[in-house]
């Protein structure tokens, strides 16, 4: 009796553990399968063709891919220095009580649903930028700024955690030799946690590139390569969110799945690099 | 300027820069929170909870159907996703262990799945559950949320179970307990608070998701609890209302945002309190 139950329990747990692998396999298979007609029709040229004309049955993914990459680069360029600044402030400068409160607030902010960042971007940031830059205030720059604020808490929290893993004795030795705070940071802390910081930046990048709700309101939704980052554009998640329910032909539908597949491959690669290249060492150091 | 003065000056400059960066980031984040609370509390009233969605300009209007729909979707996804995630995590910790290659592979894949763009998961569920049936349905929304939830619950369960000391397991086995009983009565009990916190946080995490629901459970302007048909959710309603040109809809969108944020923040704060209490006991 106990033996049978043991076997049942063991196999049930194994079945559900394996289901994770099955779901990932199915995810790739289904997206590829749905994208097949578009892959057959456009091949790899889809990646470089910038014409998206549903009425003519011509679909090119370049504007969406371009928008995803450029908005993510803008977001990373803004968020990375600020997040590192916050991490330095929290781990080295702030008195413990302040570091505790600010650290806690930042961790809570990381949990705020991304759609709220998007609404703020639409109703507060876009009008402000419209006054500064002209145009309608929507575009890659606006999306990049909203994204940077969205990933900031996450990035700052894990960068701070990485910095905290530096053994105190290393820092104390450096201070003991008369090093300034900046020298300790530059020559002791940062070299020690370098791979952790790079890993967390890439992980944040993975989040930013696949983010839908924070950017869909402020991208402007124009299927072309904009002349400037202040003009309306689109990105892969934004195209999916806006057009998925409108796809009225098979090729249109399939092209959207082609975009989804590209996004999946990009984010899978980015996250795998962050995990295996940079964060693996960090995890092993901790154990 | 001597070398020493230069070093001290450089140090000061860098420290001021990083404090400024921290201030700048914090100002923006607080701006967002202030907007959320101000707009949300201004729009929040009793009607939101007792009336259903109405066309723009018509009174009384509320969000009751979206609140109920959201609750059904999140509870439904939790009812399916939590047991699956816990059992799968149990396998990794209790049968796989640290060295097993399969367990390591599943851990890595789960980590990647956690960061998979949620809109891609929505498209995936659309292809397998919505397109073949021909219309949006609540079940498809639940399925999308379950796919997002399993890896999160799996990883926290795995981590929490591994914190239970091996000596407790050995003691149970030495008393003649079969392994499943050892796991359920000893290991689960030892890891109870940690697992509860993890589950709470994973529920909070999926509650804020919009993208996977856009083309699975879709939206519904009427009160409905039928999971075979489109069902309203707070998040998709926020999306629809915020992109609408109607003042009253936009205000209600902020009310929905506030309700959602309070739920998510509340769950996170409770989770933290539970963890802190446990730390205090030991």
Is residue A240 exposed (0-12), middle (13-18) or buried (19+ Cβ within 10 Å)?
buried
Closest CA to B269 of A107, A153, A156, A86: A107
Residue B113, CA atoms < 13 Å, CB-side half-sphere: 29
The ipTM value here is 0.92
Q: Do A86 and B14 touch (CB under 8 A)?
A: no
Nearest to A182 among B15, B87, B123 (CB): B15
Is residue A43 less than 8 Å (CB to CB) from chain B?
no
Q: Among A213, A261, A207, which Cα is nearest to A36's?
A: A261
Contacts of B253 in chain A (CB under 8 A): 119
Handedness of CA A116, A65, A53, B133 (dihedral sign): negative
Are B263 and B104 in contact by the 8 Å Cβ rule? The answer is no
Residue in A with minimal Cα distance to B17: A85
Tally C-beta pairs within 8 A across A and B.
Answer: 261
Digit-by-digit pLDDT tens for chain A (287 residues) are 788 989 999 999 999 999 999 999 999 999 999 999 999 999 999 999 989 988 888 899 999 999 999 999 999 999 999 999 999 999 888 899 999 988 988 988 999 999 999 999 999 999 999 998 878 889 999 999 999 999 999 999 999 998 988 999 999 999 999 899 899 998 999 999 888 888 888 989 999 999 999 999 999 888 888 888 888 999 999 999 999 888 889 999 999 999 999 999 999 999 988 888 777 655 544 43
Residue A52 DSSP code: E
- pLDDT computed for residue A278 by the predictor: 76
For B18, name the nearest residue in chain A, comparing CA atoms only: A85
| Cross-chain CB nearest to A12 (options B10, B87, B151) | B87
Closest Cβ opposite residue B117 in set A13, A181, A263 = A263
Task: Give the closest-approach CA distance of B88 to chain A in angstroms.
Answer: 4
Residues of chain B contacting residue A102, judged by C-beta atoms under 8 Å apart: 22, 26
- Residues in A closer than 8 angstroms to B108, CB to CB, are 275-276
Select from 3.30.420.40, 1.10.3720.10, 1.10.10.10, 3.40.50.720 the CATH code of A47-286: 1.10.3720.10
Least Cα distance to A209 among A121, A275, A268 occurs for: A268
Q: Distance between CA atoms of B193 and B277, rounded to whole angstroms? A: 10
Cβ of residue A129 closer than 8 Å to a chain B Cβ: no
Chain B within 8 Å of A267 (Cβ-Cβ)? yes
Residues 6+ apart with CB under 8 A from B236: B66, B210, B213, B214, B217, B218, B219
Question: Is the CB of residue A265 less than 8 Å away from at least one CB of chain B?
Answer: no
Residues 96-115 of A with CB under 8 A from B: 102, 104-109, 111-115
Q: Where are the alpha helices (DSSP H) in A43-187?
A: 62-88, 96-109, 114-120, 126-133, 140-164, 168-176, 181-184
What backbone phi and psi angles, to 5 degrees, belong to B243? -90, 0
Give the rounded distance of the alpha carbon of A68 from its chain centre.
10
Q: Which residue has the tokens 């993890």?
A: B198
Domain spans, chain A? 47-286
Q: So what's the pLDDT on residue A283?
A: 53
Find the length of chain B: 282
Q: What is the pLDDT of residue A285?
A: 45
Q: What is the pLDDT of residue B279?
A: 67
pLDDT of the residue at B117: 94
Chain B nearest-CA distance from A268, in A, is: 7
Coil, strand or helix: which one is B209? coil
Strand partners of residue A58: A53
CA distance A85 to A94: 12
Shortest Cα distance, chain B CAs vs residue A230, angstroms: 20
Query: Could you tell me how far CA A284 lies from the centroid of its own chain?
Result: 24
Please give the angle made by the CA atoms of A252, A254 and A257, to the nearest 5 degrees.
Answer: 115
Nearest CA in chain B to A203: B115
What Rg do the C-alpha atoms of chain A give, in angstroms?
A: 23
pLDDT of residue A286: 43
- Indicate if the alpha-carbon torsion angle B75, B80, B81, B86 is positive or negative: positive
Disruptive mutation site among B117, B201, B202 for chain A (greatest number of A CBs within 10 Å): B117
Closest CA to B205 of A112, A212, A157, A161: A112
Q: Which residues of B touch A152 (CB under 8 A)?
A: 25, 28-29
- Closest partner residue to A264 among B17, B94, B116, by Cβ? B116
Q: Report DSSP letters for B235-277, one per residue.
A: HHHHHHHHTSS-HHHHHHHHHHHHHHHHHHHHHHHHHHHHHHH
Residue whose entry in the numeric block shows the structure tokens 């249109």: A252
Phi-psi region of B44 (alpha: psi -120 to 50; beta: other; left: phi over 0): beta
Q: What angle do CA A126, A127, A130 make, to 5 degrees?
A: 85
Q: Residue-wise pLDDT tens for chain B (282 aa)?
A: 788 899 999 999 988 988 898 899 889 989 999 999 999 999 999 989 999 988 888 888 889 999 999 999 999 999 999 999 999 999 999 998 777 889 989 999 999 999 899 999 999 999 999 988 888 999 999 999 999 999 999 999 999 999 999 999 999 999 988 999 899 999 999 898 889 999 999 999 999 999 999 989 888 888 888 888 999 999 999 999 999 999 999 999 999 999 999 999 999 999 888 888 776 655
């Amino acid at each position: 009796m106990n033996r049978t139950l043991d076997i049942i329990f063991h196999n049930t747990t194994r079945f559900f553990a394996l289901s994770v692998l099955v779901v990932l396999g199915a995810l790739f298979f289904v997206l590829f399968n749905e994208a097949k007609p578009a892959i057959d029709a456009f091949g790899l040229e889809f990646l470089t063709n910038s014409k998206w004309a549903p009425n003519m049955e011509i679909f090119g993914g370049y504007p969406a891919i371009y928008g995803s990459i450029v908005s993510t680069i803008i977001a990373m360029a803004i968020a990375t220095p600020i997040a590192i600044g916050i991490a330095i402030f929290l781990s080295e400068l702030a008195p413990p009580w302040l570091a505790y409160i600010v650290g806690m607030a930042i961790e809570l902010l990381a949990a705020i649903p991304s759609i709220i960042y998007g609404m703020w971007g639409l109703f507060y940031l876009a009008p402000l930028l419209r006054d500064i830059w002209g145009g309608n205030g929507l575009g890659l720059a606006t999306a990049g700024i909203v994204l940077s604020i969205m990933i900031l808490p996450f990035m700052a929290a894990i960068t701070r955690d990485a910095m905290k893993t530096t053994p105190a004795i290393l820092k104390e030795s450096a201070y003991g030799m008369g090093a300034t705070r900046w020298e300790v940071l530059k020559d002791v802390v940062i070299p020690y946690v370098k791979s952790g910081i790079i890993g967390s930046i890439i992980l944040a990048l993975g989040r930013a590139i696949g983010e839908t709700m924070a950017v869909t309101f402020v991208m402007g939704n124009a299927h072309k390569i904009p002349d400037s980052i202040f003009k309306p554009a689109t990105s892969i998640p934004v195209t999916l969110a806006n057009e998925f329910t409108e796809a009225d032909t098979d090729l249109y539908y399939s092209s959207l799945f082609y975009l989804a597949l590209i996004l999946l491959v990009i984010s899978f690669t980015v996250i795998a690099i962050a995990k295996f290249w940079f964060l693996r060492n960090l995890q092993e150091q901790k154990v | 300027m001597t070398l020493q003065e230069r070093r001290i000056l450089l140090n000061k400059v860098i420290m001021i820069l990083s404090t400024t960066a921290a201030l700048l980031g914090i100002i923006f984040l607080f701006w967002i929170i202030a907007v959320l609370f101000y707009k949300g509390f201004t729009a929040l009233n009793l009607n939101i909870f007792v009336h259903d969605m109405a066309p723009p300009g018509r009174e009384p209007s509320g969000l009751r159907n979206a609140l109920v729909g959201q609750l059904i979707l999140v509870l439904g996804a939790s009812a399916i996703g939590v047991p699956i995630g816990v059992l799968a995590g149990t396998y990794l910790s209790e049968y796989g262990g640290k060295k097993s290659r399969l367990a390591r592979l599943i851990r890595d894949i789960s980590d990647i799945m956690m960061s998979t763009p949620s809109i891609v998961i929505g498209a995936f569920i659309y292809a397998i559950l919505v397109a073949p049936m021909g219309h949006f349905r609540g079940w498809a929304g639940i399925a999308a949320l379950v796919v997002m939830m399993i890896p999160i619950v799996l990883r926290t369960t795995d981590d929490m179970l591994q914190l239970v000391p091996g000596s407790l397991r050995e003691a149970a086995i030495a008393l003649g307990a079969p392994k499943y009983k050892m796991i359920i009565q000893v290991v689960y009990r030892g890891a109870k608070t940690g697992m509860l916190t993890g589950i709470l946080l994973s529920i909070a995490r999926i509650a804020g998701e919009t993208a996977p629901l856009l083309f699975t459970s879709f939206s519904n302007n009427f009160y409905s609890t039928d999971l075979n048909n489109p069902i309203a959710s707070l998040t998709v309603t926020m999306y629809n209302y915020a992109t609408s040109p109607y003042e009253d809809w936009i205000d209600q969108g902020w009310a929905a945002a506030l309700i959602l944020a309070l739920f998510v923040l509340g769950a996170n704060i409770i989770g933290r309190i539970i963890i802190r209490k446990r730390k205090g006991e030991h």
